[in-house]
Amino acid sequence: MTTGAPAHVLLNTKQAAEYLNLSTSALEKARVSGINCPPYVAMGRAVRYRVEDLQAFVAARIRTNTGHNRSIAA
Q: What is the pLDDT along the chain (74 residues), one digit of tens a residue?
A: 556 666 578 999 999 999 999 999 999 999 999 999 999 999 999 999 999 999 999 999 998 888 766 555 54
Which residues are CB-neighbours of 21 under 8 A, at least 6 positions away?
none
Q: Which domains does the chain have, with CATH numbers?
A: 1-74 (1.10.10)
**How many residues make up the chain in this entry?**
74
Looking at residue 50, the DSSP 8-state letter turns out to be E
How far is 49 from 33, CA to CA, in rounded Å?
A: 17
How far is 29 from 26, CA to CA, in rounded Å?
A: 5
- Single pTM value for the model: 0.76
pLDDT for position 71: 52
pLDDT for position 45: 94
Hey, what amino acid is at 22? L
